[in-house]
Chains A and B, each alone.
Chain A
Amino acid sequence: MADGGASELIMLISGLLVAGIVTTLLVASWGGLANSVDTAQTQAEANSKTKAALASDPMQVSWDQPSCNLSLHIQNTGSLELMDDEIGIIANGTASTVNQTRLLGNSSVWTSGEVLELQVCPPGITMSAGQEITVTVIVRSEHYQGISGQYSFSEVVRLV
């Protein structure tokens, strides 16, 4: 009887230990999975709140070959603030250098609705007035819940 009670106790403790270990493992793995899903969701949310569009007339984009200067105006059309020092421009297939930026209007930060003027140089290429080129713009937002959103758009413009 005493042996039976001891073995029952051992079985109970073993059962509890196994259940505890299994539960801990499952909860830990679920936690990791949930974190990954949360991060992916926050990234998707940040990306959906990050948008921009061309504000200048795509039919009349100023280009000066001697000074290698392409003038572009980009409006923040998303709901997050954009970083004006982290912009990527690809003009006519060439990664371009952003030489100068300035916000139009009175704003000091690139918030929703504000327009940023960019002076861009696509090095090593020759373009002429009347030529139609594709410009790709890549922008990045300020951190949203610890994650920065990204957005890119391409537009065909005619140089003047």
Chain B
Amino acid sequence: MTKKNKSMIQRRLIPTYIFLIICSFISVFPLYWMFAAATNSSLNVARGSIAFGNQLMVNFDHLKAAVQGTLWTSMGNSFLYSIVQTIFTLFVCSIAGYGFELYHDKGKDKLFGILLLAMMVPAVATMVPLYGLISKANLLNSVWAFILPGISTPFMIMMFRQNSRNFPPDIMEAARIDGLPEWKIFFKMYVPIQKSIYAAAAVITFMNAWNAYMWPKVVMSDNRAQTMPMFIANISSGYTVDYGMTMLGVLFCSLPTMIVFFVLQKQFAEGITGSVK
């Protein structure tokens, strides 16, 4: 392999680079625009200005005062709910995926098929009955109201089940012969080697929980329990809207999910790889 050969390969890749650069630009540009808008006055945002402005601090002051000053509360709530949701989902769905794959028999396979049906239940259909349930359990405005419907999802169970195929049954047998109880096999043997699928599941669950809007809006009516997307909805509707402030809010709302993805992206990619085998 000579240098010349390498540069020839790179030259052949030029169209690929151009295409990828265009796609990356299209993907990132609206986000750049969001940053720029957050520094502009409302009027300039509405008029489509793409340059950075000098209104950042003004917008920030307005944002802090908006909705009875609940910016940080909403941010905190969103973190709390999303993290609690993620922890519960990872636990419940991973033991289920593990159970369905490694203890599988006809009965469990049938049950799995039935559970998959839940993926098709449209959210609008279940809203009223679910609200009734949560309301009767006196859980409105609590973290449970937020997370309960989303903890166990067929998609997550399926993802963990797919990944469990990598787990060699011999290890289980060996552990059993050593007299390890079943739950210890899961925690001591299974969990440590599946960390990338946990990371992938965490990224997906966290993002979904963080971005959830419809359901939280229904059950978290108190401003002190509201989430970031609700906060943004509150400031972005009304007879007159301050767009500079709103875009800054949008920025605040988007940063955590982006950071989570950045931090976990390598494990995320590995985890997904295991689940599409």
Say whether A and B bind each other.
Answer: no
